[in-house]
Amino acid sequence: MDLEEIFGSLKSLSDIADYYILDTSVCGFSILPRGQELCLKIDLARQNKVKSITLKNALYATETFMEFLKDCKNIGTTRIVIKELDSRIKALEYFNKAYDSIKRNCRSTNGFEKTSPIEKEKTMLKSIVAGEYEITRLLKFRTNQGLIPDSLRYIEDIVITANKRTRNLKNLNDERIIGESIYNAFLNDTSVAVITRDNRFEEILSRTQSLLSRNLAYKELFDFLQNGKLSIILGEERFSLIYNSGDFK
């Protein structure tokens, strides 16, 4: 794991847009590459099957991510992501309670009580919970509070309609993230980039532009996106620009 490389690749893209929107897949300890992230299955906590190195990595990622947010003040997110982060914090709290219920097993050396490894892990987990809460609080503060619900819903509906044939739309969160990103860019006449690990975002934006291009009623919004106002940044261990709305043909 090299978080410096991950964050370095993100900082190298600081001139791509005026404002950046984070997907849930890159927030907090989720910034860790797949396979290294903290799995919040309650049974793992209850059975003490959480590896110490996993907690160390998650705590380091949470702390490093918070510093990254403090340094980059033009990074925020959407209302849907905030809801997902709130749900993750609840899951973290349940996970923490389950882990905290494991009996303490301390060893004594020369009459001095020694903190057991599990106590250190409990402390790390509590710090992760606190860190993720602070990250969510900061992102809530930065999330656009001046949204006009009807106008936002109008653009979200366009995105959903453009993508309704591509999947079983039980979960519309990805479409709503793109919808709110377009809305933020259009409302503020600014350039926006979405940072994600989900390769669907490029397809969602492209299909939305395809729908806009076929209806004169959407000409103003289509022309706005054709001016390159929305970008998709995708990555795993390194992030890069994979699509700009101005590339649509």
pLDDT for 232 beyond 60: yes
| Same domain, yes or no: 234 and 156 | yes
| Same domain, yes or no: 93 and 177 | no
| Same domain, yes or no: 132 and 38 | yes
Task: Provide the pLDDT for residue 3.
Answer: 87
The answer to the question of residue 13 being in a domain is no
pLDDT for 115 beyond 80: no
Most trustworthy range by pLDDT among 12-16, 96-100, 144-148, 236-240: 12-16
| Same domain, yes or no: 61 and 125 | yes
The answer to the question of residue 168 being in a domain is yes
| Same domain, yes or no: 32 and 138 | yes
Stated pTM of the model: 0.89
Domain end call among 123, 142, 161: 142
| Same domain, yes or no: 112 and 159 | no
The answer to which of 27-36, 156-165, 221-230 has the lowest mean pLDDT is 27-36
Domain residue limits at 162: 149-244
DSSP assignment string, the chain: --HHHHHHHHHTTTTS-SEEEE-GGGSGGGGSPTTSSPP--HHHHHTT---HHHHHHHHHHHHHHHHHHHH-TTEE--HHHHHHHHHHHHHHHHHHHHHHTSPP--EEETTEEE--HHHHHHHHHHHHHHHHHHHHHHHHHHS-----HHHHHHHHHHHHHHHTTSS-TT--HHHHHHHHHHHHHHHHT--EEEEES-THHHHHHHHHHHHHHT-GGGHHHHHHHHTT-EEEEEESSSEEEEEEGGG--
| Same domain, yes or no: 131 and 217 | no
The answer to the question of residue 173 being in a domain is yes
Domain end call among 103, 123, 142: 142
Domain end call among 142, 169, 200: 142
| Same domain, yes or no: 174 and 104 | no
Q: How many domains does the chain have?
A: 2
Task: Provide the pLDDT for residue 65.
Answer: 96
| Same domain, yes or no: 109 and 157 | no
The answer to the question of residue 2 being in a domain is no
Task: Give residue-wise pLDDT tens across range 146-204.
Answer: 778 899 999 999 999 999 876 655 689 999 999 999 999 999 999 999 999 999 999 99
| Same domain, yes or no: 170 and 189 | yes
| Same domain, yes or no: 204 and 124 | no
| Same domain, yes or no: 42 and 83 | yes
pLDDT for 9 beyond 90: yes
Give the pLDDT band (50/70/90) at residue 110: low
